[in-house]
A and B are shown apart, each in its own frame.
Chain A
Amino acid sequence: MSGQAFFVLTALADRPLHGYGIVGEVAELSRGRVKLKIGSLYGVLDRLAAEGLIEPDREEAHEGRLRRYYRLTRDGRLALAEEAELRAATARVVRVRLGLAGEEAAG
């Protein structure tokens, strides 16, 4: 799973969001390191939708325009959970190899 796809799925994990909402949430989750351009965002969204990991939730009018919200599907939740576990396991190994695991436990 690409980093962008992982952040987008994470952004949608607890509630449906519209396009710009996802951009903001991803920026916050990544502490400003991932700033999705709109072309990149929809490249990720349409791929995730084609793979059945997200789906449209609802449409809401906002200042004369329609905002389309997206939510995770069941497969999306499973895929995100698997990816999170994989990344967490990798992070644990990194901490051990850097000798940080003991420090954290002590701290």
Chain B
Amino acid sequence: MSGDLERRYRRVLRLLPGYYRRQWEEDMVTAFLESSLTGDPEEDEFAIEYGRPSWAEVASVAGLAARLYLGGVGAPRRYFAWGQAVRHAVLAVILGHAVLALGGCVYLAWAHHLIGWLPAPPARLLLGLSGADGTVWPAVWYAIGYAYIVIYVALILGYYRTAQITAVLAVTPDLVYLLQQQLTYHQPSQSGPWAGFILFDLAPVLAMAAFHRDAPPVGRRPWLLALPAGFVLLAVPMLAAQVTGHASWVPGYSGLACILVAIACLVHVPRIRSGKAMHSGAWSLSLTLLAIVAGVVRFAWLVEQLHDPKLVTEGWTELVVMTVAVMLVAPDAVRAQATVCAPPPSPARQ
């Protein structure tokens, strides 16, 4: 009993990690072939010779592969390290979105005089608030911002499905907007916005696959505190810079991401050296991933700014500073795959 059907199914099973295939592949192939047979000799012969696994069958193997590669409780060290690294990276990116959204909420409240003790904001800052360009996009951006706060809190509290569905809804308008800009205005170069969309918006949604049933619970307290802390340390200074007429001091979002990753790396280095922090290796791996993401987006924007030597210098400076900082944590990131241990599974979790 061997034919194209078996060959094709084995090809699909190559999505799974080697250690898992060694243990389960033959069993899976037997069960799959048996489930594909109908009992009619002619039909079965045709299915075995020419059949292929259904999309649902392929999707079930792909889902299993995502859970195994981005491992959780009970996973081998290497896969647990990657799982934790991706989970931290997703939370960090969503935190960035949520902090900026919180800044937007406060700004909107301020502009509508809901924060009574503050003086009215300067008139020039109110221009872009209410869709002065005649489009709905400003309102959409605010709605998306609120959605990111929901996504962030849902991930921390363990409502993974809610977070995933909301995230899909949140990235869709961005895609529509980019396509509209591309098709309506025939803009020649959109590498920066597209790279930002793919790596800062879409990739975290896909990477939320790391938040599965085996994922260890997120540390609620530090991550929840990170939202107001990020607001005070990031959104408030940015708002202050705009109000005081120093908006040019604030880098673009890709440059800002590079600077934040560089700072995070520098803060993390003493934790690595102290050897006290649990799972510091997973954090080093996260920061390395974030540096790659931020670096690619910053470079894509740099390509669009080649006409302006000042922007080019700024862009290279941000990239070089981040690269130097990430080199300090990269060795620990490499070691993480052998040193980070997953907690053992417990029957109570089922």
Contact = CB atoms under 8 A, between A and B. Distances in A.
A63 interface: yes
Nearest to B24: A42
A39 B31 contact: no
Main secondary structure of the interface of A (DSSP, over half): helix
B28 A38 contact: yes
Interface residues of B, number: 31
A79 B63 contact: no
A18 B31 contact: yes
Given A40-B63, A65-B30, A50 B1 contact: no
Given A38-B31, A38-B32, A50 B64 contact: no
Interface in B15-63: 20, 23-24, 26-35, 56-57, 59-63
A66 B30 CA distance: 7
Q: Of A38, A50, A66, which is in contact with the most chain B CB atoms at under 10 Å from its CB?
A: A38
Main secondary structure of the interface of B (DSSP, over half): helix
Nearest to A38: B32
Contacts of B57: 37-39
A51 B349 contact: yes
Contacts of A75: 347
Contact of A47 (B28, B34, B345): B345
A7 to B, nearest CB: 13
Contacts of B63: 39-40, 43
Q: Of A19, A48, A62, A79, which is in contact with the most chain B CB atoms at under 10 Å from its CB?
A: A19
B350 A5 contact: yes
B36 to A, nearest CB: 10
Contact of A19 (B31, B74, B214): B31
Interface size class of A (residues with CB under 8 A): 20 to 34
B78 interface: no
B67 A43 contact: yes
B248 interface: no
Nearest to A79: B347
B27 A68 contact: yes
Interface in A72-96: 75, 79
A46 interface: yes
Contacts, number: 85
Interface string A3-25: 00100000000000011100100
A37 B1 contact: no
Given A38-B60, A43-B67, A48-B350, A23 B35 contact: yes
A104 B83 CA distance: 50
Contacts of B64: 39-40, 42-43
B184 interface: no
B213 interface: yes
Contacts of A65: 1, 26, 29-30, 33
Which 8 A-B pairs have CB atoms at the shortest separation, nearest pair first? A39-B60, A19-B31, A37-B60, A39-B61, A20-B34, A43-B64, A20-B31, A39-B64
27 contacts: A1-B350, A2-B213, A20-B30, A37-B56, A37-B57, A38-B57, A39-B28, A39-B61, A39-B63, A40-B63, A40-B64, A41-B31, A42-B24, A42-B27, A42-B31, A43-B60, A43-B67, A45-B24, A46-B20, A51-B345, A51-B350, A53-B350, A65-B1, A66-B26, A68-B27, A68-B30, A75-B347
Interface of B: 1, 20, 23-24, 26-35, 56-57, 59-64, 67, 74, 213-214, 345-347, 349-350
Given A23-B35, A79-B347, 5 more contacts: A37-B59, A39-B62, A42-B28, A43-B63, A43-B64
